[in-house]
Chains A and B, each alone.
Chain A
Amino acid sequence: MMSGSVVDNTVSSGNSSAAIPTDISGQILDLDEDDDLEVFSKDTTLTDGSSFNASMQTSPASMINQYKFEEDADTKDIFVTVDNPESHVTAIETYITYRVMTKTTRSEFDSSEFEVRRRYQDFLWLKGRLEEAHPTLIAHPLPEKFVVKGMVERFNEDFIETRRRALHRFLNKIAEHPIFSSSEDFKIFLTAASGELTSHKKQGPGFLSRMGDTVKAVAAAVRGVRNRPQEFTEMQEYVEAFSQKISSLDKVTQRIVREQKEYLEELKECGPTYALWSQSEEELAEPLKNVAGCVDRCCKETEEQVKNLSDHLIPVLHEYVLCADTLKMRNDLDKAEDRLEWANNALKSDWTRWQKVMRTDLRSAFVDTAERNVSYYEKCLAVWESFLHSQRTDAEGNGKVDFS
């Protein structure tokens, strides 16, 4: 057996000559240990239009070779955005819809551009359908229904914007997922007019099918992995530890936001105090007013920095907390059902893929946060440097100091 490349019998032997993407070299070393693990490579013979129908999704054979490990921007052939929230009022209710725009070169789509409007319920439906169809795969979480207390908050601008970003991330995660993105439900979600979507939703098992079915399926897959106890334990341990860490990070970040807000409350009183003082002074009036202005500007920057944390870092951390919870739940399940062996591999590859995506997401979230912090300090620096400059110019102007 070649090191790391065992070929599945159900696929043509032509696979042995298929190139193995270089970035899985690390995983190849791991796979060495186990005889019956497979390396997946992209087999273009199976990725034709015919694979895109609902029935194919549960066929094991078609699933095996559709994993891509390398997801370059170059090879990305579908782009999805969620924007433009609008409020709708009917006799019964008020709700928000979002514009979902799709640009794609995939042949199974009738056109290359689509624009539809969807509401939160529709996203929930989509997620449910995907989980039903692929109970063993890891789906990215959706923002929670209500994250703040009270009905009024639902239409708060910040809340809507935060939700919009989360929905955008959710759809993009699906679009980037090798299997989810080929789902018929996904295609319908992106392209169908509202009426069409409604009637499609009514078909089939429906997203209201009980959690129980999904749970059983997941349990079976998990049990399959349990046949390899060491791996299972590793994954379980990792998920447990990861869940703890990401929860801690979420809490720490929220704590930072709280502390920053309290700092801001106090800082807001400094500027006015300097301004008040300037009213009693003559010579000192100008520098005092100037300092008051500087402090006020720094307050604004601090306010923005807090908002950035809340709007960008916290939602991402929170999504991964939800992810980790979902993963832990899978691990906890323990029902005995028979399923096909292939589910193990789908699970494992998806797991590997998920880890990679997680790493990318969190890395960019933290890099983004660091950049914003640098920018915050740079802006404050400029504020105080301009104050110094003005004092220097002042002094020169008054003939007090010779800077030559």
Chain B
Amino acid sequence: MADSGSEDIAVIGNTDLTPSESENNLKNTMVEKGTSLLKKMEISVAEAEKRTGKNAVNMQETYTVYLIEMRPVDAASEGTNPVPDSLWRRYSEFELLRNYLLVTYPFLVVPPLPEKRAEFVWHKLSADNMDPDFVERRRVGLENFLLRVASHPDLSTDKIFYSFLTEENGWKETVFETGFQAKADSRLKALNATFRVKNPDKRFAEMKHYGDELQSVISQLLRVRARAADRLYGVYKVHGNYGRVFSEWSAIEKEMGDGLQSAGHHMDAYAASVDDILEEEEHYADQMKEYLFYADALRAVCRKHELTQYELEMAAQDLTSKKQQREELATGTIRTFSLKGVTSKLFGQETPEQREAKLKMLETQIEEGEELVKERNAECEEFVKSAWVDIERFKEQKDHDLREALISYAIMQISMCKKGIQVWNNAKECFSKM
């Protein structure tokens, strides 16, 4: 399908779009929005292969690796076909990359990976990670992930990301050398702790709520769709029985034989057609899943903002209490209850030298505290600014992508209806010859 400029034309004007074509359209969008990386290089996940090897606990395991290819854009258009740079990566390496990005850019809505395990399956699909269909859909999902990152104005310039695409060996070590793991662990711990922010930012609170709703409604949609797909499969397949019975029946009839026999073939074709239909629908489900996981990424940003805000509030609170202590010490009044105050009352006051030393320590702490508050405040402001820019970008992307997905769903339904019309018209013709 030739690029005709805007992807909207391609999708709406042509109702015979196939899943791979609509996939292309998505890529074109990303390329056109054009980060400098994508302007130079064409990135793809071309293949998947099975490997066996020893894992961390020295046990045999089978896993799949994916071939990442980078091709200079100019070369493609010039017609020359140099061998692309390529390397193999497995899913766990993609996960490592994403975790690194999450920790390094907590204020960005980091693109999600395709699901780790097949969820929302209907009965026919294997939930097995080794199933070829699952592997193929994962390959597409991983490519999509790379393109999303590569088309992001900030993420695309990340060096670790670039070396993920270019350095097969030693990449893992490079990532660990950044020390992100430690940050990741402490962040994780903090995020999992329950904390309450005194003055929650309304916008972020709303965003988080939206993320919750989005996640909930897409999950529901995927569940319902999977059940409906299962049932639809049953309807189509039972028609295959018509094929068998018509065929048997035609054997005992004279005049009706031919009509019945050919009608039977059409029934078989009808029954078989559901496989393609549901495969296309799976693609739609994958598009929905991406945004299900995106919802999670969005919530993560909001949560991290809350943490940042909480830390600021904590620092401010700490500073205030330290200032109060200084005041009490300086004026000799005890306004706040403290065990020290009580014991000093009971066992006698401190010496002027002790008080002096304490005051000096407090002053230092207060100075440091003020620095910390200033820092955290700046952090918070920076976070809010960057996060909000990215959230706006994300919203636009989401609205565009999901609208396209709905359109492609309609196109699929249309295609299914057209096939149905054809089959039943053919069958009708055969029946009339009975």
Residue ranges of A at the interface with B (Cβ–Cβ < 8 Å)? 26, 238, 241-242, 245, 248-249, 252, 255-256, 259-260, 262-263, 265-267, 269-270, 273-274, 276-277, 280-284, 287-288, 291, 294, 298, 359, 362-363, 366-367, 370-371, 373-374, 376-378, 380-381, 384-385, 387-388, 391-392, 395, 400-403
Per the bound structure, the CA–CA distance linking A402 and B13 in Å amounts to 11
User: Which of B88-96, B232-240, B307-315 lies at the binding interface?
Assistant: B232-240
Instruction: Determine the chain B residues whose CB is within 8 A of the CB of A385 once the complex forms.
Output: 15, 414
Contact A363–B434 (Cβ < 8 Å): yes
Per the bound structure, the CA–CA distance linking A360 and B91 in Å amounts to 62
Given A245-B245, A371-B428, A380-B413, do A280 and B434 touch, yes or no (CB 8 Å)? no
Contact B231–A249 (Cβ < 8 Å): no
Instruction: Determine the chain B residues whose CB is within 8 A of the CB of A263 once the complex forms.
Output: 228, 231-232, 234-235
Contact A238–B252 (Cβ < 8 Å): yes
Give the shortest distance, in Å, between A391 (CB) and chain B (any CB). 6
Question: Could you show 24 A-B contacts with beta carbons less than 8 Å apart?
Answer: A245-B245, A255-B241, A259-B231, A259-B234, A260-B235, A263-B228, A263-B232, A266-B231, A270-B225, A283-B399, A359-B434, A366-B427, A370-B428, A374-B420, A374-B425, A377-B417, A378-B417, A381-B417, A388-B15, A388-B407, A391-B12, A400-B8, A401-B6, A402-B9
Contact A366–B431 (Cβ < 8 Å): yes
User: Which of B190-198, B216-224, B298-306 lies at the binding interface?
Assistant: B216-224
* B221, B224, B242 pick with most chain A CB within 10 angstroms: B224
Contact B417–A252 (Cβ < 8 Å): no
B385 within 8 A of A: no
Which residue of chain B is the closest to A262 with respect to CB atoms? B231
Given A245-B248, A270-B225, do A380 and B403 touch, yes or no (CB 8 Å)? no
Instruction: Determine the chain A residues whose CB is within 8 A of the CB of B182 once the complex forms.
Output: none
Given A263-B231, A280-B210, do A366 and B252 touch, yes or no (CB 8 Å)? no
Residue of B13, B242, B428 near A249 (CB, 8 A) is B242
Instruction: Determine the chain B residues whose CB is within 8 A of the CB of A281 once the complex forms.
Output: 399
Residue of B402, B427, B434 near A284 (CB, 8 A) is B402
Given A280-B214, A388-B411, do A245 and B228 touch, yes or no (CB 8 Å)? no
Per the bound structure, the CA–CA distance linking A241 and B255 in Å amounts to 16
Instruction: Determine the chain A residues whose CB is within 8 A of the CB of B255 once the complex forms.
Output: 26, 359
Give the shortest distance, in Å, between A395 (CB) and chain B (any CB). 6
Given A363-B256, A367-B432, A373-B420, do A266 and B15 touch, yes or no (CB 8 Å)? no
19 extra A-B contacts, CB within 8 A, seeds A377-B424, A384-B410: A26-B255, A259-B231, A259-B235, A266-B228, A273-B224, A277-B221, A282-B399, A363-B434, A367-B432, A370-B425, A370-B428, A371-B428, A380-B417, A381-B418, A384-B411, A384-B414, A385-B414, A401-B6, A402-B6
Per the bound structure, the CA–CA distance linking A366 and B228 in Å amounts to 27
Contact A280–B217 (Cβ < 8 Å): yes
B263 within 8 A of A: yes
B421 within 8 A of A: yes
Residue of A276, A370, A401 near B217 (CB, 8 A) is A276
Contact B409–A291 (Cβ < 8 Å): yes
Residue of B9, B238, B263, B425 near A401 (CB, 8 A) is B9
Contact B428–A252 (Cβ < 8 Å): no
List residues 225-283 of chain B with CB under 8 A from any CB of chain A.
Answer: 225, 227-228, 230-232, 234-235, 238-239, 241-242, 245, 248-249, 252, 254-256, 259, 263
Which residue of chain B is the closest to A386 with respect to CB atoms? B410
B213 within 8 A of A: yes
Per the bound structure, the CA–CA distance linking A245 and B425 in Å amounts to 23
Per the bound structure, the CA–CA distance linking A387 and B221 in Å amounts to 19
Per the bound structure, the CA–CA distance linking A392 and B411 in Å amounts to 13
Instruction: Determine the chain B residues whose CB is within 8 A of the CB of A26 once the complex forms.
Output: 254-255
Contact A381–B224 (Cβ < 8 Å): no
B406 within 8 A of A: yes
Instruction: Determine the chain A residues whose CB is within 8 A of the CB of B242 once the complex forms.
Output: 249, 252
Per the bound structure, the CA–CA distance linking A267 and B424 in Å amounts to 22
Contact B421–A374 (Cβ < 8 Å): yes
Per the bound structure, the CA–CA distance linking A288 and B291 in Å amounts to 15
Which residue of chain A is the closest to B226 with respect to CB atoms? A266
Instruction: Determine the chain A residues whose CB is within 8 A of the CB of B411 once the complex forms.
Output: 384, 388
Give the shortest distance, in Å, between A137 (CB) and chain B (any CB). 22
